[in-house]
Amino acid sequence: MAKAVIIGIPGEAGLWLADLDAGTVKPLNPTGELATANGLRKAGGTFVKSVDLAVAVSSAQVALSGHVDG
């Protein structure tokens, strides 16, 4: 099972690393193949691997209330 997730959000140039064990989210400076994938993402592409649900919401409060804004 994955213990970390790399997140990229449209309109935001950088990536984030969510460490599920530590309960932290930190900026990530991509290198190698990850930098290549990030370049494709910034150009409008989508790269998904080993994730079965991902939803961007406007705030943590929205997510905690169980809503998914569209």
Domain encompassing residue 46: 4-64
Is residue 43 in some structural domain? yes
pLDDT at 13: 85
Instruction: Judge contact between 37 and 47, C-beta under 8 A.
Output: yes
Confirm whether 70 is domain-assigned: no
Tokens read off for 70: 């569209």
- Give domain status of residue 39, yes or no: yes
Q: What is the mean pLDDT of the chain?
A: 91
* Number of domains observed in the structure of the chain: 1
Average pLDDT over residues 10-22: 93
Tens of pLDDT, residues 21-45: 999 999 999 999 999 999 999 999 9
pLDDT score recorded for residue 70: 57
Report the predicted TM-score, pTM, of the whole model to 2 decimal places.
Answer: 0.82
